[in-house]
Chain A
C-alpha cells in the first residue's frame, strides 16, 4: 500500500516537464550509444558525470537511468542488423536476430525485441518497486560485518560470472581493488600507493578509469584488429510490423524471459548475460519448430531480449537498496549518486524518497518512450551504424578526453587515461573481463570501510565476521559462486556456459 503511495508520489516527480526532458534526452542518447559499436551506456554515463555535476540530482539520475534502459534497446538493434552486439548482453540476440535480418525479416525481429523489452522492462520495474521496500526493511538490520559479506559475495559473483575463467575474473577484480587503495586513507590520514604524486592523493576517479578502459581500450583493440573486424549492415527490408503468427510465437518467450531475467539481475550477483543464455536455451527446448533455431527463430530474439531488459531492471534492486553495483553501468551510476553526496542504500529511501521513487517511476516513462521512439526511428538508428569508423572512433576519443578534462583539467589525469587505456587493451587482448576492474575500484574502499567498522566494534577480533548468520549465508553463496563452475564441470563433464564482458 505504502509502495503505491510512494510510487504515485514518484510519478508526480517524474512527470515534471524538466524531468520528462531529462528522461527523453537519456533514452535518445542511450539508444544511440547502444547502437554504436565501441561505446555503451557505462561509458556514456561516465562521460556525462562531469557535465551534469552542476545540474539537478534527480534530473541527472533520471537521465542516467534513461541511458541505461536505452542502451539495452539500442544494443539489440546493432546485434540484429550488424551481427556485432553493441552490448555483451545482446550476444544471444545476434544469433537468431541477424539470421532473421538476412532472411529479410529484420523488421519483425526489431519489433519483437522492442516490444519484448517493453513488456519485460515494465514488469521488472513493477517488480523493482514491489521488492525494494522489503529489501530495504531487511537491509536496515544489517551490521557492518553483513555488508562486508555482501560485498564479498558481489566480488566473487562479478568475477565468476563475467569472462572466460574465474582466475581471470578475479585478476581483473584485484587490479580494481589495488587501484581503489590509491589515495589518502580517510580513517588514518595516511597516503597509500601515491608515490609522492599529489594528484594521486585523491585516488583514482571512477570516471577516468571507466572512460579509459571502455573508450580507449576498445579503440586500441579495434584499431589493432585492423581489417579483421569488417562489418556488414543488413538493411531493414519489408514491414517492421509483426504478423499474427509472430505475436503468437513471441508473447510467451517475452514472459518467460522476464521471469528468468529479473530474479537473476536482482540477486547481488548481477550480470544481464546469464539470463539471456538461459532464456535462449529454454526457448530452443520449448519451441515447436526447433529446426528453425539457428536459421532465424523469432522466439530466440523475443526471449533473450526480454530477459536482458528484465535483468537490467533487476540490477537496480541491489544498487538502490544496498548500494551494491553488480555491473559496470551500475558502478558508474553509483559514482553518479556519490557525486551529489547521495549514498544509495536503505537510508536513501528514508532521506530522499522523492528522488528514489521519482527515479523508479521515470523508468516506466523511459520504457514507454523507448517503445514509441524505437520502431519509427529505426531508420535513424541504422544510419548511425553507417558512420565511417575513422570518424566514429576519432569522435569517441575526442569525447573521452573531453570528459576527463572537464572533470579535472590536469595532464596527470590525461596520463592516467592513457595508462588505463593501455591496461584496457591488454585486458581485452588476453581475454580478461573489464567490469570487475570498475566494480573493484568503487566497491573496494566501501568494503574496506565496512570491514574496519566491524573490526573496530569487536576490538580487532576477526571472528566477528563469521558470527552473524546472515554473513555466514552470504559467504556460503560466495563460495558457491566461485566453485560453481568447477562443480558444474565435475557433475556434467562440460564447461559451464559463461557470458561475455563489459556492460
Chain B
C-alpha cells in the first residue's frame, strides 16, 4: 500500500489539505470540550480537562504539520478509485442499518451480502440475497440457541 506510484506535480496536495482541515476541526472540537470541562469543579489535582487539552494541542500541531507537508510534497497522483462498486458496498451497509429494526437480522444482513457481492461484480442480486438470508438465518439460530446471544429479530426469526 505504501508503494503506490508517487509522482509530484505542481501545486500543493489538495487531499492532504483536506485532511489538515479535518484535523483542525477535530482539534477544535476536543479543545472546546476540554474548555467546557475545565469550568467544572474538580476535587483532584488534575481534572478531566487536562488530558483532552494535551490531545487537542497535539492535533492542532499535526494539522499544521500536515498542511506544511501538503505544500512541501506537492500534488500527488493516486490511482483513481471506482465509485460505483464502493457505492454498492456502502448501500449494503446503510441498507442493513435501515432494514434491521423492521425485518430482522437475516433479511437485513442478506441484503448486505448481496450488495457487497454486487459491488465486487458478482450478480444476480436476488440469488445472492436469498443465499445470504438463508446463511444469516442459520447463523441466527446458532447464536440464539447455542450462544444465547440476542440478535435483532424480524418476521423471519419469529417463526422459530
Contacts and interface: CB of A to CB of B under 8 A. Distances in A.
A431 B45 contact: no
Contact of A178 (B30, B42, B48, B112): B30
Interface string B67-105: 001000000001101110110111011101100110001
A256 interface: no
Contacts of A225: 79, 81-82
A185 interface: yes
A167 B69 contact: yes
Nearest to B62: A171
A21 interface: no
A411 B97 contact: yes
B76 to A, nearest CB: 9
A54 interface: yes
Contact of A414 (B82, B100, B116): B100
A402 interface: yes
A190 B48 CA distance: 7
Nearest to B148: A54
Interface hub of A193, A405, A421, A451 (most chain B Cβ within 10 A): A405
Interface residues of A, dominant DSSP: helix
Interface residues of B, dominant DSSP: helix
A251 B40 CA distance: 64
Contacts of B59: 174, 178
Interface string B129-160: 00010011001000100011111100000000
B55 A460 contact: no
A220 B46 contact: no
B50 A452 contact: yes
A448 interface: yes
Interface residues of A, number: 65
A394 B45 contact: no
A406 B105 CA distance: 11
Nearest to B82: A226
Interface stretch (A128-136, A372-380, A385-393): A385-393
Contact of A431 (B4, B47, B90, B151): B4
A177 B55 contact: yes
Interface string A455-477: 11011100000000000000000
Interface string A151-189: 000000000000111010011001101100100010110
B116 A397 contact: yes
A429 interface: yes
B96 A401 contact: yes
A402 B109 contact: yes
A414 B119 CA distance: 20
A216 interface: yes
A431 B42 contact: no
B3 to A, nearest CB: 9
B89 A219 contact: yes
Interface string A178-217: 1001000101101011000000000000000000000010
Interface of B: 1-2, 4, 15-16, 19, 23, 26, 29-30, 33, 37, 40, 42-48, 50-52, 55, 58-59, 62, 65-66, 69, 78-79, 81-83, 85-86, 88-90, 92-94, 96-97, 100-101, 105, 109, 112-114, 116-122, 128, 132, 135-136, 139, 143, 147-152
Interface of A: 50-51, 54, 163-165, 167, 170-171, 174-175, 177-178, 181, 185, 187-188, 190, 192-193, 216, 219-220, 223-226, 228, 388-391, 393-395, 397-398, 401-402, 405-406, 409, 411, 414-415, 417-418, 421, 426, 428-431, 444, 448, 451-452, 455-456, 458-460, 498, 500-501
